[in-house]
Structure 1
Amino acid sequence: MPNHSRLAIFARVVLLPLALVLATVAGLGSYYETSDDTTLAWLFSGVLTGAPVPSLPLYFHGYGHVLAAAYMAWPGVSWVGVLLAGLLAAGTVLTFAVLDRMLRPHLRAGALGLVLVLFFAGAWLEHWLWFSHVRVVLVLAGAALLFAAQRPGHRGALLVGLAGLGAAWLLRPGLAWAGYGAALPAALLLAGSWRRARPVVLSTAVSLGLLAGGAALWQTPAAARTQARDRAFARVLDFDQLRPRPRTAADSLGTAALGLWLMGDSTVVNEGFCSRAYRFEAADFLGQVVPAKLRLRAELLLRDYFLLLLALVATAVVAGRRRGRELWFWGVQAGFAAALVVLAGLLKLPPRLELPVLDFWLLANLGLLLKDAQAYPAGLFPYAWLTAKIGPGDSAARPAASWRLVALVALLVLLALYGAKMLHRRQALGQERSRHERVLAEISRRTAGRVRVLAGATDVLKSLSPWRVRTPGPGPVLMLSGWQSHDQSQRELRRSLTGTADQSSCLRRLAEPTRGTRWLLSRETAQWLNRRFRNDTGAGPAVVLRPTAPLAADTALLFYQPLAP
């Protein structure tokens, strides 16, 4: 089959990545990286709300109505997982299309297929193993931009790029901008020049800007307040930028609640709370927090992504021997390195954000090196060096052959090490999933049909399968901890359960003996709730939560019984 035939390209760009995805999912499985995705599934399916939620202020704009309707019609299907898998598959195919077009002029069909497989194994497999909507947004936005930029003047490619960016933006707008920015250096290189890239770059940027402007115009006051609270809470919980400095007893109660991710009690955790009870201390943040975050992230970067880092180092070594454009290459390196430092030190750099940035960094380097292959000394460029044919009488080429063998052996060793690391991660994630599934099964068995109040149990939602529906069984669930606890849907749930949206009043009513509510809490959240009840004596009868028995599948969670003091 010719290397440039449509069938060969289709096989490499579509069939090969999809086959690799299926092999990964079937062989290693997929596991939610955080509790966020399961929380989203539980909101859209109605587990945490009583009825499916069609829209959320922070995530999945436009998708919510479709997901809510799908869960109503077929509740046994994991529709959030299906949606994310479809979008991630689109991003994967677009990335393979970009890489195939980049390498096609330089490699034979067999070598090209091998390089694509190695790229998936070393730089892409984790996206499917450690599943997250964050990865989907970043990958899809960046891949869509690269696909359009690589084909300047092609209207169909531009439409594909705009559609991909729009789909990513609807999932999570801020992350779509991040994916766009991470892919921008590679996009400029793939287009060939700024003049050729300008229509794609500007049209996609304007489209994202119009989406943002439209969302701002249609945003409700309640959604705006939710987003403002989320940004304030992120500075405390995600970025570690603020230090608690409570001024009153209510502030002290609020800082303790926020530290436990208990965000639903608007009496103590509200819009003005963070600006009043927290303070940014530059000396502490820049002198203590940032260095500690950078050290930790650097250690994890070396441990988790040594293969990608070595690939980046290899491109830098080759670039150091080239003639011309060194300034542009090293500017790209400095830009990506600075972005990682800013994200890791000032904000947050989890694996679901880190790997996509590294992927686009590698694609930018490859784009620059392949663009000017003629600028290298003869025999230096890696693909020529590794694939050159050496005759038996060519004594001058024997050292190159020896080094080629060493390089291939080293590559195989590195791939084996990376594969062992992935197998270990799969084992750890599989054990965690089994434990969390046992927890949910026990909760369902012991509390099904009753109103359940949960707090401190969000970790149970991690590592679950994107392809299967897992819930705590029938019956309303009021989850007090987690980002969703300050969402408008939880106010509506409290009102439907007890007639009041206020969390403290709602919990007091649920604590009445006739309600039969089951309380499953961590020790820390139970202590906070008891403290809250003590400080709110004027609101009704005193309530004290006392432990009765631990959950057999997870002794960190205990059943509590509300009693009179």
Structure 2
Amino acid sequence: MLVLFSQFLFLTLLPNQTRRAIFLRVVLLPLALVLGTVAGLGSYYESSDDSTLAWLFSGVLALQPVPSVPLYFHGYGHVLAGAYTALPGVSWFGWLTGGLLIWATVLTFAVLDRWLRPRLPPRRLVLALLAFFLLAWLEHVLWFSFVRVALLLAGASVLYAAQRAGRRGALLVGLLGVGAAWLMRPSLALVAVGAVLPAAVLLAGGWRRAAPLLGGTFLGLALAAALLYWQQTPTETRMQVRDTYFAQILDFDQLRPQPYTPADSLGTAALSLWLMGDTTVVNAGLRQRAYRFDAAYFLQREVPAKLLTRAELLVRDYFPLLLALLLSGIVVVRRGEGRGWFWLVQLGFAAGLMGLAGFYKLPARLAMPLLDFWLLTNLAFLFKASSFSQAEPFSVPLAAVPALGVNFSLSVRERRATLMLGMLAVVLYGAKTLHRYQVLSREQYRHERAWVQLAQRTAGTTRVLAGTNDLLKSLSPFRVYTPGPGLVLELSGWQSHDPSQATLRRHLTGAPGQAECLRRLAQAAPATRWLLSAETAQWLNRRFRFEAAGQPPVVTLETVEVFPADTSLHYYRPVAR
């Protein structure tokens, strides 16, 4: 914190336009803010997906480091697998995604600095950048997710290149950033590019000047998609199809289960527990047989409920950003310039967020980056981005609103009310962020303790896990976690239907199928430890009874003891007949 404070004082003394000052504000300041956040508050995985990917690439959840996961990190996987093989004690996945987040942060600060540099004196310029980071960016570091990183990197890259239209170096940086984000998850890069499209046109000065960037971006995305499709193996294609209908069922609540046979009932129960690896009951035919889309129910019940829930969370979690968006709308109405185009963009963002929240899902890792892009787009309108390179000196607009350097056309009373409301929002958001830090740090401690206990208790054995995915949340991206020596067969979670799991099962028992693999592992009980939730254990027992077809089951799982670090989990003992 002392380093950050001294850097802030130094920045306020430098003239805005010097290369040294620009480098400090655009590169070193965001780097210091990101590292300071990690050092002071920590960084915590928002979902279990990041930890799962890290454990696949490092080989914790597979026979060996997995170089290719069909839906994620195309190209990165080979580098990560090689890095984990060479130096397994380094959290390569976290450092890679953290580095990409810093890249996105630097590009965003470069865009903001170029906007504000002609309009604000040094001290207010640095304060504005700090305020943006604290209110609109800090959560990306604190509540870490590769989804945020991919969205922010793609969007910031397009904005950076658009603001410097006509410069080949900036165009190259923009295309490389979009490409790096696309490799992480193609759909996320496409969403981000679409979200910043209006701002890119404004920053470039019109469609004609933005054409090289936008044309190159969409052409590059199309060629990359075609190349990916051409290289896709049949196994990867099947996994992608399965993942699509799994998402419709588990993530988007679009399909309702209606099983008609005992086998399909078993399959729908498995999916509700995220048990996806048993292809004899969870397969492509299950979707057609046991699920249906009830349009009336979905539109009348699911969509309104999802919209209401998400609206409440958006207001609770992102009220400073929503206030900034509201203020920008008021300013545009007062100025009366380009209101039609502005309100069309507002409608597009609102409709996009509502569509995602109602028909798909809108978690925080997707919502806040889109709100950031919305705010940056509105700032592009307010600063008249198309002609900003010839902006007037900061002394002129500062006479209107000293805090921002923009003529907001507000009365003295309105400016005071806005300032008071802004200060209140900052205080409340700071308290909310502190509370989130406390919750996440406690959760991280519990989950780290759970993995340590599991490693101490089961080291050297084969671990069969199910229902433990929540223990992968809130872990630090920059630490290495392991359940100890020995192979791990995780039955729950999206990775349970990854191709690497069949290879692992074949190595463990000679049987690639999950049901036969579990039977054989049960017969090797002393060398295997089972840590399951009560629901997954009940399903496995039900699966063994179903396979016995009315006869006594070959295997029955019996509770041994509770898992001390998480009482929702128990150790089980397989009893083979």
Give the alignment's TM-score, normalised by structure 1. 0.95
5 Å-filtered alignment, 1:288-303, equals 288-303=301-316
Matched with 1:525 is 536
Deviation at 1:411, TM superposition (A): 2.2
SS in 1 for 2:567: strand
Partner of 2:461: 450
Counterpart of 1:544 (choices 556, 564, 567) is 556
Q: Determine helix, strand or coil for the equivalent of 2:278.
A: coil
CA distance in 1, matches of 2:27, 2:89: 29
Aligned to 1:392: none
Q: Report the more deviating stretch, 364-373 or 56-65.
A: 364-373
Q: What CA distance in whole angstroms lies between the structure 2 residues aligned with 1:295 and 1:328? A: 28
Q: Specify the SS of the correspondent of 2:570.
A: strand
2:360 paired with 1:347: yes
Structure 1: distance between partners of 2:525 and 2:490: 21
Determine the C-alpha separation between the residues in 1 that align with 2:312 and 2:421: 22
State how far apart, in whole Å, the 2-side matches of 1:296 and 1:312 are.
Answer: 21
* Alpha-carbon distance in structure 2 between the residues aligned to 1:54 and 1:107: 48
Give the drift of 1:219.
0.5
Give the gaps of 5 or more residues in structure 2.
Answer: 1-13, 388-393, 405-409
More displaced 10-residue stretch of structure 1: 281-290 or 42-51: 42-51
Q: What SS class does the counterpart of residue 573 from structure 2 fall into?
A: strand
Q: Distance in 1 between matches of 2:538 and 2:100?
A: 42
Question: CA 1:384–1:45 in structure 2 vs 1: closer, same or farther (change >3 Å)?
Answer: farther
> What residue in structure 2 maps to residue 197 of structure 1?
210
Question: Which string of whole-angstrom CA distances, capped at 9 and with x for unpartnered residues, describes residues 226-250 of structure 1?
Answer: 0110001000000000000112111
One-letter code aligned to 1:41: A
Query: Aligned residue for 2:37?
Result: 24
Distance (Å, rounded) in 2 between the aligned partners of 1:494 and 1:285: 38
2:475 partner letter: L
Equivalent AA in structure 1 for residue 350 of structure 2: A
CA distance in 2, matches of 1:440, 1:177: 36
**Identity across the alignment (%):** 62
2:143 to 130, 134, 148: 130
Structure 1 residue ranges (4+ consecutive) displaced by more than 2 angstroms after TM superposition:
381-386, 399-413, 513-516, 538-541
Q: Distance in 2 between matches of 1:465 and 1:555?
A: 23
Partner of 1:504: 515
1:393 maps to which residue?
none
Question: What is the alpha-carbon distance in structure 2 between the residues aligned to residue 150 and residue 49 of structure 1?
Answer: 45
State the Cα distance separating 1:458 from its structure 2 match. 0.2
1:387 counterpart residue number? 402
Structure 2 partner of 1:272 = 285
Deviations 1:54-97 (A, max 9, x none): 11101010011111111111111100000000101000000111
Q: What residue identity is the alignment partner of 2:32?
A: A
The offset of 1:387, in angstroms, is 1.2
Structure 1, gaps ≥5 residues long: 390-398
Is 1:494–2:509 an aligned residue pair? no
Shift of 1:540: 10
Q: Structure 1 176/499 Cα, relative in aligned 2: closer, same or farther at 3 Å? A: same
What residue in structure 2 maps to residue 557 of structure 1?
569
- Work out the CA distance in 2 between the residues paired with 1:467 and 1:515: 35
Structure 2 residue 371 is matched with structure 1 residue 358: yes
1:91 counterpart residue number = 104
Contact 2:117 2:125 in 1 (8 A): yes
With over 3 angstroms needed to count, the CA separation of the structure-2 counterparts of 1:388 and 1:312, relative to structure 1, is closer
Q: Deviations over 1:346-382 (max 9, x none)?
A: 00100000000000000000001110799xxxx9x98
Q: Counterpart in 2 of 1:244?
A: 257
Of 339, 346, 371, the match for 1:326 = 339
Alignment partner for residue 477 of structure 1, among 464, 483, 488? 488
Indicate the RMSD between aligned Cα atoms, in angstroms.
2.0
Of residues 16, 20, 40, the one that matches 2:53 is 40
Match of 1:545, SS state, is: strand
Q: CA deviation at 1:2?
A: 2.4
Paired position in structure 2 for 1:395: none
* Paired position in structure 1 for 2:476: 465
SS of the equivalent of 1:555 reads: coil
**1:432 equivalenced with 2:443 (yes/no):** yes
Where in structure 2 are the equivalents of 1:137-156 lying within 5 Å? 137-156=150-169
* Native 8 Å contact 1:385 1:404 kept in 2: no
Structure 1 505/28 Cα, relative in aligned 2: closer, same or farther at 3 Å?
A: same
Aligned to 2:238: 225
Deviation at 1:414, TM superposition (A): 1.5
The equivalences for 1:55-94 within 5 A come to 55-94=68-107
Question: By how many angstroms is 1:413 displaced?
Answer: 2.2
Distance 1:296 1:186 in 2: 29
**1:386–1:525: structure 2 CA closer, same or farther, 3 Å change rule?**
same
Q: Secondary structure at the match of 1:272?
A: helix
Point out the more displaced range, 356-365 or 411-420.
411-420
The 5 A counterparts of 1:206-217 are: 206-217=219-230
SS at match of 1:152: coil
Q: Does the aligned pair in 2 maintain the 1:43–1:52 contact within 8 Å?
A: yes
Match of residue 116, structure 1, among 119, 122, 129: 129
